[in-house]
């Protein structure tokens, strides 16, 4: 076989693979239903060069909330478990935590009391455990935790509690030329430590809440040091601001699951031309959790009303997802 | 001709084009010299799968300062001319500017006095002219200006005063799997309005200084409104922080031209494995401008000393660039 023939054969194989990939039915874990067809219809429309709604790849931006949209969040954000584990690990260096709330309750295992102070208590614990080290050190801590810690209820690794249908959606959109971004209220560096291997989303496409940092020379080496002060809360009206800062263009598609995502979806759909917004509705008490208007986590109330008047897609997890989390790998 | 044969022929043509592109000599506007060979040697090394210094495409991040690195900046940042033109356009609505400095001097055409207040005066003028409108309105103003305004000295469109050798470098790096980012002290939305068409760098790969913004509903429509207050100055120690916030990984290559880029280059080269830093040295009084240690714009002093001890590449514009700005198109 000549080199040219061999090369040609490789090309034919490659071409066959590409063709197979394009024609494989997308979103296999989604039931044939209104959400799946709405997604595919929208994507086909904006990627068809002959469509009036055609959008060039450079503007095909899709944004995803993380907690409750790409992975589970009930009954408590996974990052909160990381915070609790950090408090336990750091307790020997902080004898005052034995009597100081909310730390004392965390150390006693009484999470209900620890979280009685709501978001403020959580932010206080985040500042106390996520700062005072370099960015490199923090990333190493998260990586160590995310590959070993297990969810108290399911016993699974947290990264095994991502949503299989959403993984397929991310892949489908990228195959259609979209750039996928996370836009989450969660900590940006917490997510960046593992999101690329789990979702295929690189660090520069992750937007989140962040604490202050400063640049300094430490023992003659430059370092970025994490400070115990919140700098930016990427939630509610913060989400369009976070998108504006980091992406600088309005998304074409936005996916969320709570009132914290409402402004992101409003901002997205108010753009010119075709736009798409969807809410993941947690309706599956048996396979995951059922919650919306009265939930303390992932409250979905106003945004659910707006979805109806604005024609946003509401994804009914119980009805529309064949699988919730990936099957054992 | 069968369909399969026709397809095969298209593939052969495609393959030939790819091959041609790969083998075309890179960086044609660069003299054969130490900078060109250092760049090519570094890139060949980190992109060679058999090299010990191999870096996967996802981590091939190259960052570029803008003013003085990708386009001219002397004797004054181009964005300052935009600010002056905005002041003139807005003057009828601001009768107080006729007596208030630095505005009064700008309106009289006395830029020296207007800029006597240094960076603070410039920031005050920026706040007064870059805020009080939506992001969409601001982008439209910049686009209108950048396509019509001309540099007072050269009479050229500002976008024709980019550096041809750097355009070639951006293209070369992207062809080698790099993601190229701008990391500039200039205004982020000012650059985003034109950088994609000029440099091929999309909005989400542009990092700059920014003023505060807020999300609000304006006549029932969501809007991002620009506020007259600086939020983040992406200069000096701000550059590694800006990179950390927006990219979340340390660059592999960094290009600057002044002491304002020093920390970015230090941060880049302190990373593990092979790293590359270069300074564009403005040595060409005849074709552009010669300035470094004593300049009021683009001061290059400390960074030039560090370059020598750290082995950073110093690009001598006069010696190493065949062309400065693109020839008439």
Q: Is residue A92 part of a domain?
A: no
Confidence of residue B7 (pLDDT cuts 50, 70, 90): low
Best mutation target, A138, A179, A204, to test chain B (most B CBs within 10 A): A204
Give the pLDDT confidence score for residue A117 in this predicted structure. 86
**What 3-state class would DSSP assign to B48?**
coil
Confidence of residue A6 (pLDDT cuts 50, 70, 90): low
Q: Is residue B132 part of a domain?
A: no
Q: Which tens digit of pLDDT belongs to each residue from A101-114? A: 999 999 999 999 99
DSSP A159-211: GGGB-HHHHHHHHHHHHTTPEEEEEEEEEHHHHHTTHHHHHS--GGGEEEEEE
Yes or no, beta carbons of A58 and B240 under 8 Å apart: no
Confidence of residue A329 (pLDDT cuts 50, 70, 90): low
Give me the number of domains chain A comprises.
1
C-alpha angle with apex B49: B47 to B51, nearest 5 degrees?
Answer: 85
- B191 in Cβ contact with B66 (< 8 Å): yes
Domain that holds residue A276: 27-75+161-320
A181 phi and psi angles, rounded to 5 deg: -125, 145
In whole angstroms, give the CA distance from residue A308 to residue A300. 13
Give the pLDDT confidence score for residue A23 in this predicted structure. 59
Window from A302-306, B7-11, B146-150, B274-278 with minimum mean pLDDT: B7-11
A207 burial level (CB within 10 Å; 0-12, 13-18, 19+): buried
B249 at A interface, C-beta within 8 A: yes
Helix (H) or strand (E) run with residue B218 in it: strand B206-218
Best mutation target, A180, A199, A212, A215, to test chain B (most B CBs within 10 A): A215
Give the pLDDT confidence score for residue B1 in this predicted structure. 46
Q: Is residue B118 part of a domain?
A: no
- A114 in Cβ contact with A101 (< 8 Å): yes
C-alpha angle with apex B118: B117 to B123, nearest 5 degrees?
Answer: 95
**Of A196, A205, A224, Cβ closest to residue B241:** A224
Q: Is residue B292 part of a domain?
A: yes
Q: At what angle do helices A78-90 and A118-130 cross, to 10 degrees?
A: 50
Size of interface A-B (CB pairs under 8 A): 95
Residues of B in contact with A210 (CB under 8 A): 245
- What order of strands is seen across the sheet that includes strand B276-281? B221-232, B206-218, B179-187, B61-64, B253-256, B276-281, B313-316
Whether the predicted interface score ipTM is above 0.85: yes
The neighbour count for residue A51, using CB atoms within 10 Å, is 12
B326 pLDDT higher than 80? yes
Mean pLDDT of A270-297: 97
Give the pLDDT confidence score for residue A1 in this predicted structure. 46
Give the pLDDT confidence score for residue A8 in this predicted structure. 60
B279: number of CA atoms within 13 Å, CB side?
Answer: 30
A37 pLDDT higher than 90? yes
In whole angstroms, give the CA distance from residue A241 to residue B280. 34
A4 at B interface, C-beta within 8 A: no
Instruction: For chain A, give the percent of residues with pLDDT over 90.
Output: 88
Listed as own residue / partner, the contacts of B106-112 with beta carbons closer than 8 Å and 24 or more positions apart are B111/B76, B111/B84
In whole angstroms, give the CA distance from residue B12 to residue A5. 11
A19 at B interface, C-beta within 8 A: no
Confidence of residue A218 (pLDDT cuts 50, 70, 90): confident
Give the pLDDT confidence score for residue B245 in this predicted structure. 98
A223 phi and psi angles, rounded to 5 deg: -140, 150
**What 3-state class would DSSP assign to A154?**
coil
In whole angstroms, give the CA distance from residue B65 to residue B257. 8
Residue numbers of B between 252 and 281 with CB closer than 8 Å to A: 263, 266-267, 270
Q: Which residue of B has its CA nearest to A15?
A: B11
Tokens of A168: 């397929």
Residues of B in contact with A206 (CB under 8 A): 248
Yes or no, beta carbons of B241 and A202 under 8 Å apart: no
Q: Is residue A154 part of a domain?
A: no
A81 pLDDT higher than 70? yes
In whole angstroms, give the CA distance from residue A324 to residue A284. 9
Q: Is residue A118 part of a domain?
A: no
Yes or no, beta carbons of B224 and A206 under 8 Å apart: no
What's the gap in Å between the CA of B210 and the closest CA on chain A? 8
CATH of the domain at B198: 3.40.50.1000
Tokens of A191: 């997510």
In whole angstroms, give the CA distance from residue A76 to residue A297. 7
Q: Is residue A13 part of a domain?
A: no
A286 at B interface, C-beta within 8 A: no
Using the 8-state DSSP alphabet, how is residue A61 labeled?
A: E
Q: Is residue B115 part of a domain?
A: no
Q: Which tens digit of pLDDT belongs to each residue from B190-203? A: 999 999 999 999 99
Mean pLDDT of chain B: 93
């Amino acid at each position: 076989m000549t080199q040219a023939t061999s090369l040609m054969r490789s090309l034919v194989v490659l071409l066959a693979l590409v063709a197979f990939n394009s024609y494989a039915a997308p979103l296999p874990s989604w039931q044939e239903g209104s959400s799946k067809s709405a997604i595919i219809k929208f994507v086909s429309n904006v990627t068809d060069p002959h469509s009036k709604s055609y959008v060039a790849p450079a503007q095909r931006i899709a944004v995803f909330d993380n907690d409750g949209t790409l992975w589970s969040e009930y009954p408590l954000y996974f990052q909160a478990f990381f915070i609790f584990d950090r408090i336990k690990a750091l307790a020997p260096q902080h004898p005052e935590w034995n009597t100081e709330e909310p730390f004392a309750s965390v150390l006693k295992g009484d999470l209900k009391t620890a979280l009685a102070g709501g978001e403020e208590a959580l932010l206080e614990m985040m500042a106390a455990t996520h700062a005072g080290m370099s960015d490199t050190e923090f990333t190493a801590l998260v990586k160590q935790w995310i590959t070993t810690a297990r969810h108290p209820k399911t016993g699974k690794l947290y990264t095994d509690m991502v949503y299989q249908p959403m993984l397929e959606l991310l892949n489908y959109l990228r195959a259609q030329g979209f750039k996928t971004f996370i836009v989450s209220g969660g900590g940006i560096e917490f997510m960046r430590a593992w999101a690329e291997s789990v979702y295929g989303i690189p660090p520069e496409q992750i937007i989140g809440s962040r604490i202050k940092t400063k640049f300094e020379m430490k023992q003659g080496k430059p370092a970025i040091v994490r400070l115990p002060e919140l700098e930016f809360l990427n939630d509610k009206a913060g989400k369009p601001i976070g998108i504006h800062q980091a992406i600088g263009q309005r998304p074409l598609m936005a996916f969320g699951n709570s009132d914290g995502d409402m402004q992101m979806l409003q901002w997205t759909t108010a753009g010119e031309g075709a736009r798409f917004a969807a809410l993941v509705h947690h309706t599956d008490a048996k396979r995951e959790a059922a919650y919306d208007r009265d939930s303390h986590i992932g409250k979905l109330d106003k945004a659910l009303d707006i979805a109806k008047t604005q024609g946003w897609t509401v994804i009914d997890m119980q009805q529309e997802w064949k699988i919730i989390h990936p099957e054992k790998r």
